[in-house]
Structure 1
Amino acid sequence: MRIRSAIVLGLTAAFALAGCGSDAGSEVADGPRGPAPKVAALGPFVGECGHVTDDEVRDIGGLGQVAQSYKNAVGCNWQSGGLSGASITFASYRGSPLEREKAWVTTHGRPPEPITVGGRPGFAALDPSSRICDLAVQLDDDFFEWSTALGGYSDIGGNPCDRSRALAELTIERLE
């Protein structure tokens, strides 16, 4: 008899606890519980490597002979030979805020200056040594970035932002 009473009592407790977790009798109406997340609209297609060829990167960037290049779905990198040689990087960011990139370059000692490329807003950020420039351009909810590093021991001169800007202008001209 005690076992049967214990089983009945256990089942009653289990049903009571199961009822506590259900939505039955809930006074909260179904529907959104906060603002709907923003869905980023896709900007124009920037193509592989910003629609810029290896030869254009080599010539505009002043890389001379390109020793290595890496390409994937969101970016490309070209490096000249030699220890601490020059490099150029392209990256495309879908649905990512440009402000995040501004914060990143700022924390790395490259204060961003507002620019416009092909009627599109962006920024150029030159490091204090004038050897590295990150240049980003906003495309709706997306942005792309060209980064030029002249390298520690290269003989490439001039402002790396001029090189990044020339590449960004080609990308803007070739948008799809």
Structure 2
Amino acid sequence: MRLMAAIVSGTAVVVLSAGCGSQGSTDNQPAVKPPLKVATLGPFVGECGHVTDDEVKTVGGLGAITGSFKNSVGCNWSGGGLDGPTVTFASYRGSPIGREKAWVTSEGRNPENIEVAGKPGFKDASENGMVCDLAVQLGDDFFEWSTSAGIFGAAHADPCARNLALATLTVQRLQ
């Protein structure tokens, strides 16, 4: 009796184990995976979006630049000390602008679709209108200008208008 129970149990284990394999594939056929999407490089936006320090001072409303930082993917200028206005440029290769827009939306902000010299993008201002982010799509890439009027920013300082002017210069100078 025990021998019969062991045979039946062993047979059941073999049958159940055979059913645990993946459906429709054999060891001879590897699973088919979709090819990875390779981002196509967009146009070269140049160091700091092809915008000069003097243009950032004038268009960005910094007056005198008291600090700047530049590297291969971004630039930051500040004017008027620690709480003064700032302008930032960043370039994102192979990164979807939709992810950036989703992040802005998840922060409770409401980005507005725009077009800059024929290129799609979005802009988003803080509730008090003193900070604005403006991003422009370039194929699989995008760049972003961000301006803060600073803690003592003038009520007439419009960071989005300043970003639009800077982004327009960048798009006009694409290589």
TM-score (norm 1): 0.81
CA distance in 1, matches of 2:76, 2:121: 21
Q: Is 1:92 the equivalent of 2:99?
A: no
Give 1:139 deviation, angstroms.
Answer: 0.1
**Residue 108 (1) aligns with residue 98 (2):** no
* One-letter identity of the residue aligned with 1:74: V
The Cα shift of 1:109 comes to 3.9
Q: Paired residues, what number?
A: 150
Q: Structure 2-normalised TM-score?
A: 0.81
Separation (CA, whole Å) in 2 of partners of 1:57 and 1:166:
10
Q: Are the aligned partners of 2:92 and 2:142 in contact in 1 as well (CA < 8 Å)? A: yes
Whether contact under 8 Å (2:125, 2:133) holds in the other structure is: yes
Counterpart check, 1:172 vs 2:171: yes
Matched position secondary structure for 2:66: strand
Secondary structure at 2:101 match in 1: helix
User: Which secondary structure does the structure 2 equivalent of 1:66 belong to?
Assistant: coil
Is the CA contact 2:130–2:153 (under 8 Å) kept in the aligned structure 1?
no
- RMSD across aligned positions (CA): 1.5
Shift in alpha-carbon separation, 1:102–1:71, aligned structure 2, 3 A: same
Name the SS for the 2:109 alignment partner: coil
- Matching residue's letter, 2:103: W
What is the CA–CA distance in structure 1 between the aligned matches of 2:69 and 2:102, rounded to whole Å? Answer: 26
| Cα deviation digits, residues 37-77 of structure 1 (max 9, x gap) | 10000000000000000000010011011110000010000
Sequence identity, in percent?
A: 59
Structure 2 distance, partners of 1:164, 1:110, is 18
Q: Map Cα deviations across residues 98-145 of structure 1 (whole Å, 9 max, x no partner).
A: 111112222334311000001110001011110010000000000000
1: CA distance, partners of 2:87 / 2:41:
25
Any stretches of 5+ residues in structure 2 without a counterpart? 1-25
What SS is found at the alignment partner of 2:152?
coil
| Structure 2 contact 51–170 (Cα < 8 Å) conserved | yes
Q: Structure 2 matches for 1:1-176, cutoff 5 A?
A: 27-30=27-30, 33-155=32-154, 157-176=156-175
Q: Distance in 1 between matches of 2:106 and 2:150?
A: 20
Number of the residue aligned with 2:3 = none
